[in-house]
Every structure is written in C-alpha cells, then in structure tokens.
Chain A
Amino acid sequence: MTTATTTSVSLDVRDVHLAFGPNRVLRGVDLAVPRGATACVIGPSGSGKSTLLRTINRLIEPDRGDVLLDGRSVLSDDPDALRQRVGMVFQQFNLFPHMSVLRNVTLALRRLRKLDEDEAVAVARAQLELVGLAGKADSRPAQLSGGQQQRVAIARALALRPEVMLFDEATSALDPELVKGVLGVMADLSAGGMTMVVVTHEMGFARQVADTVAFMDRGVVLEAGPPEAIFERAGHPRLRRFLDQVL
C-alpha cells in the first residue's frame, strides 16, 4: 500500500508561545520537520503536545512565534486556506456521524475544492481503497470499528492532498487490537514522503517511523533528536523519568 504524496513541504515551528489566561501552555516551542520527514512528539499529558498541533494549523492562534511551511510564514494567511494544506487527524476521529463514509470524504472535495460529484467520488473511493476500506463507503461511521473510523478520518484528510499531516494521539482512543492497522497506514504515509507531526504515546511507532522525536514537557521541547538518541541516550532527567514510566 503506497500513498503517493509529491507535494509535501517542510514545517518549521519557531518560538511559539501560547497562554490561556495565567496558564502558559506553550512557552517557546521550536520544531523543525524537513520536507518528507516524520516528527513524533512525546511527553506527559498536559505538556502542550495537542495544543502545539493546533497552533500549527491555527485552530488556536499562537500568541507569539511563527509557523512556516516551505520556509514561508503562514500566520498572515487565510486560516481556512491554510487548513486545506495541513491535514489533521484527531484522537476521537471527529467523523460526521450524519453522513456516509463516502460523503465524509467527498464533502470538502465538493465544497472547498469544487470538484464535481463524479470526480469527488472517484478521489474519495481511491483514498478509501488506500486505507483498506473501499467496501465501507456506504456505511455510517457508527457502523465501523474505531480503527476503521480512524482510517476513514485519515482518508478524509488525505483526499485534500495536504502538504503536511498532523496526528493528535490518533490511536489513543482505540482498543489495543485495532491500533496496529491505523499505525500501519501512518507508517505507509510516512514512508511515502509525507511531512508529518505525530503526537503519540506509541513509543514503538516513534522509534521505528520517526526521523525526529521531540520530548515536550511543561510547554517546551526539552530534547529533540533522532529516535536512537532519545530512546537510548536520553540526556535530560525528566525525559529519562518519562521513558522509565512508559517503556
């Protein structure tokens, strides 16, 4: 299974700050993801990982700092246009339950990409085929397992041909036996050259798939590097403590 992505771009997060009232959630985050690379963000809950993802596609506007795609700042772009370039997959899938699987995928193609019905359906069916769910096009999301729903959500994001993909704990809500299928799709996507930021608790996935692993704690990236460096030669005591707890 291959997922051809020829259009992915580099992503740079520079000194991003964000506070909710007195609560400083992000305190100067830097993250560099070269074109086609996969960065896994790990860290304890509440460290700001999910918030960081949301500042990248500006579901939440950062207070300070910059986000660059392909070396160009996106903070002055139209956020809706930006989000069509940056796909996002959520922990709870966020599929639209009142629409069929197929329509979940075609909705943005029709309304935003202005494809006609036949083109949109063709793109959507091809994308569902890639995640192994061609036979479920006419089902409702509620008729699918969690793993299948998450793969539909991935297909929905990929159908828009994003240049970067963000994954927010994409397997955390899944039963253990369903995790593998979703991680497999993500690994294929990574191998296919998609630029990805993956917030995850799956250390095995981070070790095998990531080009960079960034450890976040209390709103900053404490340590980042290739997986071997992070997992075998952890420097920061907080990272060592975290790895002791999760491995």
Chain B
Amino acid sequence: MDPLSTLWETFFDWDAMREALPEMLTVGLPNTLILAVSAALLGSVLGLLLAVAGISRSRWLRWPARVYTDVFRGLPAAATILLIGVGLAPLGMEVWGPDPYPLGILALSLIAAAYMGEIFRSGIQSVEAAQLEGARALGFSWADSMRLVIIPQGIRRVLPAWVNQLIALIKDSSLVYFLGLVASQRELFRIGQDYAATTGNESALLLAGLFYLALTVPLTHMVNWIDRRLRHGRPVTPVDDEDDTEPALAGTTEGDRR
C-alpha cells in the first residue's frame, strides 16, 4: 500500500467508524450531553451567584467571589478535574459511592461557574444605572429591582458569550475520562479513543470529532444569530415616529407600513 492510502485508511476507515457508531450514539453522545448540560445548568446558577456577589457592596461577598474566579479560571481544566475528581473521591464515596461521574460534573460546573460568573457580571454591570433608578422609583426593593429588571437585561446582553462558554464546556467534558469511568459512562472522546487504541486506527476518534463538531458548529451559528438579533432587535414593526394622541389602530399602522 502506498503511504497516501495508508494515511487515508488511518482516518477514514469506514468499517472502523461503522463499528464505533452504535456505541457513540447510545453511550457516548448521551454521556457528553449529560455532562455538558448538567454542568452548564449548575455552572450558570453558581455563576449568577458569583456575579451578584462580585458586584455586592459587601467586601465579604466581593472578595471570595474574586478569589474563586481567579483560581478556577487560572487553573488548567485538566488539573481542576483531576484535583476535584480524585481529591474529593473519599467524600464522594461517603455520599454516593465509588462513582466518579458526579465529581466530573461538579468539576466541570465549578470551572464553568468561574467563566460564566464573569460573563454575567459584565452583563449586569453594563445595564444603565437609570434602569435601577426607574425600578427603585416604582417602589421595588434593591433585590427585586436586580431580579426583575437589571439581571434579566444583563443576561440577555451576554447570551452570545454564554453560548460560547457552552461550547467550551462540551469540549472540556472530554477531560472527565481522567477519572476512570466505567464502560457505560464513557463520553464521545473516550469511546473514540478506546476504539482507536484497540484497532490502532484513528477513524473512531475522527468520528468522535465529527460528533463534537455536530454539537458545537450549530451552537456557534446560534451565537451569531443571537448576536444579530440582540443588535437589531426582532424584525417586526418599524419605529413609530408619529406622536398622535389618537390611540393607534394596531392592525392598520403596522400592516400599512410594510
């Protein structure tokens, strides 16, 4: 065989892919999604708490949030996953037994929280002070004003960055293989790697890569779409420059303009 077709066989051995495909679909894909989605949810909740603590007037909230963010953003994801997954294993043993899977989710969540906290904080801080004043003037408490008016606007503004973090999370979920998962817990990368190791052929790993792309590429396009829509608003009615005191007949004005 010439070197070129050897190379081709190494990556595009259809039989090897076909062999790995069922397990990718039934085991790898669900596990990757479980890891990424649950870490995204937990990370978002923790991140929001961090963001609110980070802008708090109390330094006893601000400081720990700052330190947390610096640490978990500053460590390599692989190190954090190992430290949490192995370091907390005795604790996990007490609570749910020898399963490292929840610790993997925890580690991913803690990492995501640090990034998402910064994303949310910047969004919340970008909301004009006048919005807070408007809510307070209606009689809302500071907490209600934040919850109903400021935070929803802040999060909306940083949705593209949040989705980017989701993409990073999907990719980072491959790192939990460090923790020694049992066969049914393996995610896409680990399954690809196992097939590649036993066959000496990278095609299964390439297939895993295609699965990742199938998840992440649509998300990147979603980022762009959200971004566009946030910038230009929903393409519905044009700005109404008239200031007639007559109640507008909704149907006619909007219909006639287009």
Binding site for B on A (CB under 8 A): 57, 59, 80-84, 87-88, 90, 92, 94-98, 107-108, 111-112, 129, 132-136, 138-140, 142-145, 147-148, 156-157, 160, 177-178, 181, 184
Contact = CB atoms under 8 A, between A and B. Distances in A.
B9 interface: no
Nearest to A131: B245
Contacts of B131: 94, 96
A107 B148 contact: yes
Given A157-B138, A160-B139, 19 more contacts: A80-B141, A84-B139, A90-B130, A90-B133, A90-B134, A90-B137, A95-B134, A96-B134, A98-B153, A107-B138, A108-B139, A112-B138, A132-B245, A133-B248, A143-B238, A145-B242, A177-B243, A178-B243, A181-B243
Contacts of B238: 143
A36 to B, nearest CB: 22
A197 to B, nearest CB: 14
A92 B140 CA distance: 19
Contact of A143 (B130, B140, B239, B246): B239
A247 to B, nearest CB: 26
B239 A98 contact: no
B243 A59 contact: no
Interface in B180-234: 233
Q: Is the interface of B mostly helix, strand, loop or mixed?
A: loop
A87 to B, nearest CB: 8
Given A80-B141, A92-B130, A129 B247 contact: yes
B234 to A, nearest CB: 8
Nearest to B242: A145
Contacts of A97: 153
B136 A83 contact: yes
A148 B240 contact: yes
Nearest to B155: A98
Given A98-B153, A143-B240, A147-B243, A84 B138 contact: yes
13 contacts: A57-B137, A59-B133, A84-B138, A87-B137, A94-B131, A96-B149, A98-B152, A107-B148, A135-B253, A143-B236, A148-B243, A160-B139, A178-B243
Nearest to A178: B243
Contact of A94 (B133, B148, B241): B133
B243 A112 contact: no
A156 B153 contact: no
Given A59-B133, A136-B248, A83 B139 contact: yes
Contacts of B236: 143
A87 B139 CA distance: 9
A97 B157 CA distance: 12
Given A97-B153, A133-B247, A145 B140 contact: no
A216 B231 CA distance: 42
Contacts of A98: 152-153, 156
B95 interface: no
B19 interface: no
Contacts of A108: 138-140
B239 A142 contact: yes
B249 interface: yes
A59 B247 CA distance: 33
A94 B130 contact: yes
A80 B148 CA distance: 15
5 smallest beta-carbon distances between A and B, as pairs? A94-B134, A84-B139, A135-B248, A132-B245, A88-B137
